[in-house]
Amino acid sequence: MRPAVFLDRDDTLIVNRAQTAHTSHPGDLFDPALVQLTPGAGAACRDLKAAGFALVVVTNQGAVARGECTVAQVEATNSRMREVLLGVSGVDLDGVYYCPYHPGGGIAPWNIEHAWRKPAPGMFLAAAKDLAIDLARSWMIGDAERDIAAAIAAGLPLAHTILLAEPSLVRGGHKAAGMSEAAATILAYAAR
């Protein structure tokens, strides 16, 4: 079994808020044409992959449950994200897991709570099973507390979590200004 770096998608691996600010659904990116990597993401992923980490995206996509987009649009956006990352860094993601469920949505069957919806650990557990990932040796990079909470619930050590951009309420995890700094933190620990 190998370790992974789990990555949130929006505003961690790809730019979301800035790309969707002028759309009819700010904060929900489901147009493949708007996919753009965050600064340093390509090089960070290349370096992490070269160090032996699997790269796995875990992302909530509640816009499906709210009727703002379809599963097909989310999948097309995820495919474009993979293409852009491959073109920039030469590496592909080992897996992309997304949760279209949201209990506040109005579109069945997606309008329920689900074990995959972060802060629940379902996506991490599924990826660990599918990809033979050692969760105890894995890391999480995300931009929201729910990313960190889901990782911890899945069995990742608190010290293997990195929160981007927002002040952290979590004690013991790391903070980073972006993907470059997050990757450098992980690689420094791996070199010990």
Catalytic residue among 10, 28, 47, 94: 10
Nearby residues of 108 by Cβ (< 8 Å), 6 or more positions away: none
Q: Around Cβ 2, how many Cβ atoms within 10 Å?
A: 13
> How far from the centroid of its chain's Cα atoms is residue 118's Cα?
10
Catalytic residue among 8, 28, 47, 143: 8
* Known active-site residue 147: no
Nearby residues of 21 by Cβ (< 8 Å), 6 or more positions away: none
Nearby residues of 9 by Cβ (< 8 Å), 6 or more positions away: 16, 57, 58, 59, 78, 81, 96, 98
CA distance 5 to 29: 22
Nearby residues of 129 by Cβ (< 8 Å), 6 or more positions away: none
* Known active-site residue 8: yes
The set of catalytic residues is 8, 10
